[in-house]
Structure 1
Amino acid sequence: MVLGSLRRYQAMDSIAHMLASPILESFYGARVGDPLGGIYALDHDFVEELAHEGPFWGETIQGYGIDFWILTRALCWNKTVCEVNLGGAVKLHSLEARNRIFRENAQTIFEAIKRDNAVWLKDRLLIKVADILSRQEAKRPDYITYPPDSLLRNYERSLENNRDLLAVIDPEGEFARLASVQPFYMDDDLWVSALLALMIQYVFDDQVDEKGIFDLLTGLYNGRVLSYITEMQAYQKCLPQGEGCQPDELLLHKMESILRRLTDVFWKHKPDLNQAWSQYQEQCRPPLIP
């Protein structure tokens, strides 16, 4: 499988970098530059396998989540994966459209995690890094962002609309308190723990409102992006000024360090998730019938 990457910029609001990439590394043991590029070269046998597997996944792969699904099928089936950097710029979506893209990706990711537990529950000693054919073109930071007020309103609205679900994953009310603190900041631990808690609810609670799960998760993601913007703006103010300075390069390194830090937090939470998952599986196992 050849994966085409269209990203020339390192984006502040990137579903690939803030959600898909850390999960691919910590759950599937694969490090990929741009897992949601949407361009592939697939061999005939792999296409046949996907065509056979697809109907069993239903609506979860009929939207933007198809990219994550194809890549994780390749990883689960031990296909060789390489990546080609094709350049390209970030396409700006409205916040409403971006929220829909996030929800569809999140639904596919949760469903893949649910079905692939035999793969990711194993302890990993090695991380596979895709071979990359790259143009000689330096990445640049992306300054395209949504208005902070819009992100905060979406965050607050999602909390208000899903209070019952929020009480399950956040009994201490930490997310509600964040909305009244200026500047707004949600750290990586809080974001990852909430995401994994919602994942547990999605998989093991038959009575849970799936629409509510992804609505709340989208709002929390907007809060995380807002926190990312706040962190980058504070860092940018500390950069040296004057001739010879390279602010773009420094910002790019900062963005990459945030991605690495977020991935490390996923790794930190992974053993607890494995343990909780195994316990829930044991509780949900049907009784033996003689």
Structure 2
Amino acid sequence: WQDPVPAGTTPSLADVSGFKDAVLASGLTVSELVKAAWASASTYRRTDHRGGANGARVRLAPQKDWAVNDPSELGKVLAKIDELRGNLSMADAIVLAGTVAVEKAAADGGHSIGFTFTPGRGDASDEQTDAESFDWLKPHADAFRNYRSGKLSVRTEDLLIDRADLLGLTLPEMAVLLGGLRVLGANQGGRPHGVFTDRPGQLTNDFFVNLLDMKTQWKPVEGSDEEEFVGSDRATGEERWRATRADLVFGSNSQLRAIAEVYAENGHEAKFVADFFAAWTKVMNADRFDI
């Protein structure tokens, strides 16, 4: 009875394959597609089973206008997906487009993934969506997108843990997702913070490799209340990276650092990619109680 969604349909393999090809030829970037899919799915809350990608409510008020979702960019991406989706529901198409982008990013980084996609999502209407009720799902912070709306009384790293818990993620899943989303360019507003890579758009473990590089010295940005940091070369003083508390906690917290060291290790690039895709799929399917 809560947040009803019409029954979805099962597209043919030809529908799915054709849509994948169309997305890759659409001109939409990996960053844009990943951000749209994450915006759709990451509202899920395991506490009350609200939110998630089923229903494609990210295209409806109030979600389409939330600042965290970069409304103007989101509108452009959703319009193109709607144009290309054919027999797929919009909810399925958003998730599939994001997953296609992840697959491309992995391939561009030299890795192949076992592509999996489970269709069957339906599309909710405005009449089936209580906008006032859904506004309570609006995130005041989403560390996975390095987003924080002004001054809050809670530490950024605690908000990260809270968001991960709402999504039902383990600590390793939280870590690999955040590290992957950073290099894929999923930050709200295109912020450079935490994008520790020289090859954005490729699915690599660069976030962890560069985070743990001892040649970088981190200092807080003046006036940021120790929310933002600059990483400079210890030898030359040249600025290398920008970061937030949500990024640097993976180096400062002993439990998270242990996970970061696993993903940064030489030879663990394939493990990183496989674990990222598994965690990504978990979030995309978080509200699929039918599978």
Give the TM-score category using the shorter length. Answer: under 0.3
Q: Give the TM-score normalised by structure 2.
A: 0.27
Q: Higher relative contact order at CA 8 Å, sep ≥6: structure 1 or structure 2?
A: 1
The answer to which structure has the higher helix fraction is 1
Structure number with bigger Rg: 1
Provide the TM-score with structure 1 as the length reference.
0.27
